[in-house]
Amino acid sequence: MTIRDSQPSSVTLEPMNLDDDSECKILRAQRVICGWKIDIAAKCRKQMHEGRRTLFWITLPAGKNAPERYGSQNVADLPTLARDTAVIPIGHISLDREDFPEAPGMEPVTSLAMPDGSCLTITTLFVRTKSVLTCSIFADRHAQVLPEFRKYGIATWAMLELERMAQDPRYGSTNCRAVAINTLSERHHDASNPDMVAMWKSIGRPMRPKGTTGWCVLCRNTSFLHPVH
């Protein structure tokens, strides 16, 4: 069985409702855990209303339906969302119809998201784990899963699921033939390179020991980066 064929137990993607203040607060709390781009709810809400991006919660069932494999201690104190059944947001991810440069003056990278919808881009992946956060794994993006849940393949599954959903006009485009991601090259994690050491120091963050290129290649080998069929 491949990663593409398997789904972590009971995990689902639920579109965010950033018109709900409680969901904005949950998003901010997860961004605080991430450590950067904390106050993004208002900007993301506007982009969602304009049809330029769709943010999703990565969720587990709440209450008695919570899967035991993830540990009751991991979900006991987490907030819940009101959906058809209550769910627990353990992370978030975004499918974007445009590239949204974070730095002022930067131009969008059109190869990440094409105006005709033939290529969309996945950003904003966050999954919660007990270990060091794998936050903003895509360059300067905001894509995450809470730390407690980072050993179950949830992040990989979420990316593969967005590929499957990319041709759904509610979230992506019927024209979509490929999805793209953007991540730092391994040279940005070379502690022997004084330019890279200076770069991390300039943004006030410690250099990470390694990047995510290898993980992205693993995803590609499961065909997540291949053209959408």
Structural domains in the chain plus CATH codes: 3-221 (3.40.630)
User: Which of 182, 36, 45, 49 is CA-nearest to residue 122?
Assistant: 182
| Statement: residue 215 has pLDDT above 80 | no
Quick check: helix, strand or coil at residue 53? strand
Q: What's the pLDDT tens digit per position in 172-204? A: 999 999 888 876 667 777 788 888 888 878 877
Which residue, among 60, 208, 82, 58, has the nearest Cα to 143 in the 3D structure? 58
pLDDT digits (tens, 9 = 90+) for 105-131: 778 888 889 999 999 998 877 776 543
Burial group, residue 217, by CB count within 10 angstroms (0-12, 13-18, 19+): exposed
pTM of the model: 0.77
**Residue spans of beta strands (DSSP E) within the chain:** 12-15, 53-61, 87-96, 119-127, 144-145, 178-180
- At residue 142 the predicted structure's pLDDT band, cuts being 50, 70 and 90, is very low
CA-closest candidate to residue 13, choices 126, 142, 131, 133: 126
Task: Give the model's pLDDT for residue 104.
Answer: 72
Distances (CA, A) of 163 to 47, 67, 177: 20, 25, 10
